[in-house]
Amino acid sequence: MPLAGRHVISVADFTRDEILHLLDTAAAIAQGPRRELLAGKIMATLFFEPSTRTRLSFEAAMLSLGGRVLGFSDPGSSSARKGESLADTIRMVERYADVIVMRHPRDGAARLAAEVSRVPVINGGDGANQHPTQTFLDLYTIAELFPELRAGRCITVCFAGDLRYGRTVHSLLHALCHFACRILTVAPRGLELPEQYVAEARAHGIAVEAVPSLHEAIASSDVLYMTRLQEERFPDPVEFEHIKASYRITAAMLAAAPPRLRILHPLPRVGEIATDVDATLHAHYFAQAANGVPVRQALLALVLGALR
Ligand code: NCD
């Protein structure tokens, strides 16, 4: 099915072939973007939650292809503050823009927006639920680093950190179900991967195994996907501080790591990766963030029908 006109709400809405087509389009665009591809198109960014990378890389993607952007990054400056419903906000914005990128603190908000919108809605993260465009750039990055992923040979991906509330983990795990891989998890107690995600991966024949420590994860993974503790979704601040102190990776811990290990992180990091890791050959999170631009360029071009 063509991607033109489609909403991008959950990774589950996309087939393996559609995801691979998006990654191929991103790789082609990265070779030399076409500056007028989206001329005359307008993208609205409605960010009801903080963002740096997602919003700015969407804007960079749109501007670099000749499109224009409008929107808000602080809901306090929008009519949501006056009590306007999300549905009414969308009914207005769809008249101002050709595509809407939205981030919202509530699970399911993007789906609700898509139900009322006549223009494509792209989910920039809804609560602890999904973050599909982060997944597309994560997969693009993993496939670049480990071509065996696309060749059908198994790689080991370890998810570490807040696997309960981290929406990037939930989305990426879903996408990895299309590929041969082994999943490891390491999470502080109480923040383990919800059972539904474990069950889903296993239903696709993917082995999911909890490992006891970051040390073990470092020794046994190709990709170590670190995540931040999602403080804003955490019910108990005292418990949060306690867990936070126990969970951190440093350069010293990587001294005996397998050379092929690469550390990814959707960012922002808030202490779980020490800055001395940045200079190691394992650090790949800033290159990962840079991939957000070609992947979002490709997604916008496909959804807006400028590429097929
Ligand atoms: C992530 C998010 O918003 O879920 N950030 C991002 O988009 N790169 C991860 C996070 O906030 O921890």
The pLDDT tens digits of the residues spanning 218-244 come to 999 999 999 999 888 888 888 888 787
The CB of 233 under 6 Å from ligand 1? The reply is no
End-to-end CA gap in the chain = 10
Q: Exposure pattern of 224-242 as b/e (b: 16+ CB <10 Å)?
A: bbbbbbbeeebeeeeeeee
Mean pLDDT of the chain: 95
Q: Within 10 Å of residue 87's Cβ, how many Cβ atoms?
A: 12
Classified by CATH at the fold level, domain 134-289 comes out as Rossmann fold (3.40.50)
> What is the band of 170 on the pLDDT scale with cuts at 50, 70, 90?
very high
Residue 82 falls in the annotated catalytic set:
yes
The angle formed by the CA atoms of residues 54, 57 and 60, to the nearest 5 degrees, is 150
> What is the band of 245 on the pLDDT scale with cuts at 50, 70, 90?
confident
> Is residue 33 predicted with pLDDT exceeding 80?
no
The pLDDT tens digits of the residues spanning 84-117 come to 999 999 999 999 999 999 999 999 999 999 999 9
The CB of 161 under 6 Å from ligand 1? The reply is no
Residue 170 falls in the annotated catalytic set:
no
pLDDT score, position 82: 85
> Is residue 123 predicted with pLDDT exceeding 90?
yes
Among 47, 49, 54, say which to mutate for ligand 1: greatest number of ligand atoms within 8 Å of CB: 54
Q: What percent of the chain has pLDDT over 70?
A: 100
Phi then psi for residue 60, to 5 deg, are: -60, -40
> What is the band of 253 on the pLDDT scale with cuts at 50, 70, 90?
very high
Residues 189-197 have a mean pLDDT of 94
Amino acid at 66: G
The CB of 269 under 6 Å from ligand 1? The reply is no
Catalytic residue among 6, 7, 41, 103: 103
> Is residue 75 predicted with pLDDT exceeding 80?
yes
Ligand 1 atom 6: residue of nearest CA: 266
Residue 204 falls in the annotated catalytic set:
no
pLDDT score, position 235: 81
Catalytic residue among 21, 25, 41, 54: 54
Report which secondary-structure segment, H or E, holds 158: strand 155-160
Residue from 212, 194, 202, 196 nearest 176 by CA: 202
pLDDT score, position 249: 96
Q: Which ligand 1 atom lies nearest to the CA of residue 131?
A: 4
For domain 11-132+292-303, is the CATH number 3.40.50.1370? yes
176 Cα to the center of ligand 1, angstroms: 18
Domain extents in the chain: 11-132+292-303, 134-289
> Is residue 195 predicted with pLDDT exceeding 80?
yes
One fold for both 11-132+292-303 and 134-289?
Answer: yes
